[in-house]
Amino acid sequence: MKVLVTGASGMLGGAVASLLLRNGRDVRTFQRRPSGVPGAEDLAGDLADGSALANAVAGVDAVIHLAAKVSVTGNPDDFYRTNVLGTAGLLAAARSAGVQHFVHVSSPSVAHTGASLVGAVAGPAQPELARGSYARTKAQAEILALEANDGQMPVAVLRPHIVWGPGDTQLVERVLTRARAGRLPLLAGGTALVDTTYVDNAASAIVAALDRMEYISGSPLVITNGEPRPIGELLTRICSAGGVREPRRSIPGWVGRAAGSVVESIWRASKADSEPPMTRFLAEQLSTAHWFDQRHTRSLLGWTPEVSLDEGFARLAAHYGDSASRIRH
């Protein structure tokens, strides 16, 4: 089986491509910059380029689509162009090329409307209620993917939740950067229970999907480690692994959400390129529970996580310890 992986320059996409190669699959990657995945056929291109998409899907049996614009702020048109139009173009190109399986990697944020999620299952994507441009456009893209599912090209949708690990720039580095600057408060005491997913587990779940399409196509599945922890513990352990002082200041959740809305508006009006220190979406993520029942997911995928959170944090600490050692020498 030849598999196209989009977005393989990112941590999760690279892990998926590498695992496929270790499993003996022929892998082609497609993204705007080199993936750096040894052994993969690396194609550079943009999801907005129809000819590049046609070239990318030519001769492949399956597509795993991870490429997306991911940020807490930014021009809404940029999110729409990449996440919605890019997904639509890739789906069309894959169907024209006779691709047999399509795995669309989405996000639980497509169904998160701000309230706590406690032992939840994968609810429907709700673009009109999603929080922010990323979640809104990922919800629209997921709907397009599910609408494309049929007997000719089965489409599966997986929603890995808060993926992290060594080399992560989306969560780990942002936490450490904010902690170093003293801009990482605990909201509501950091007590909200949150699910996360170690990168190797997310990758193995996505790869497992290729062999389980008959069971999982047409309905979204949330992927997590299945080990919900208080958000304060998660932030503390990331900081400890990175050698940064953990957050200690706590503010009420409602204060954080209100402040996030104000700061986000100011940032948007100023058209600043940097990310604001707080947004309403981020405040909601830090102050509300969001963890998921994994029994259905594991049964359908025939999959269980192999790396526990404790082992993942040990690997993260080793990664930063190795980095510090290289810098010293």
Q: What is the CATH number of the domain that holds 21?
A: 3.40.50.720
Assess if residue 92 is contained within a domain: yes
- Domain around 10: 2-165+195-226+292-307
Full-model pTM: 0.89
pLDDT band of residue 324 (cuts 50, 70, 90) is very low
Are 319 and 303 a contacting pair, CB within 8 Å? no
- pLDDT per residue over 235-245, tens digit each? 999 999 999 98
pLDDT score recorded for residue 181:
86
Among residues 134, 198, 215, 320, the one annotated as catalytic is 134
Does the residue 58 lie in any domain?
Answer: yes
pLDDT in tens, 116-158: 888 888 889 999 988 888 899 999 999 999 999 999 999 999 9
Residue-wise pLDDT for 249-285, tens only, equals 777 665 656 666 666 666 666 666 666 655 656 667 6
Q: Is residue 66 part of a domain?
A: yes
Tally of domains in the chain: 1
- Model confidence over 34-68: pLDDT tens digits? 998 999 999 999 999 999 999 999 999 999 999 99
Alpha-carbon distance of 93 to 231, in angstroms, equals 41
280 in any annotated domain: no
- The yes-or-no answer on residue 134 being catalytic is yes
Please check whether residue 189 lies inside any domain of the structure: no
CA triple 7-321-183, angle to 5 deg: 70
- Tell me, yes or no, whether 114 lies in a domain: yes
Full 3-state SS string of 84-131: HHHHHHHHHHHHHCCCCEEEEECCHHHHCCCCCEEEECCCCCCCCCCC
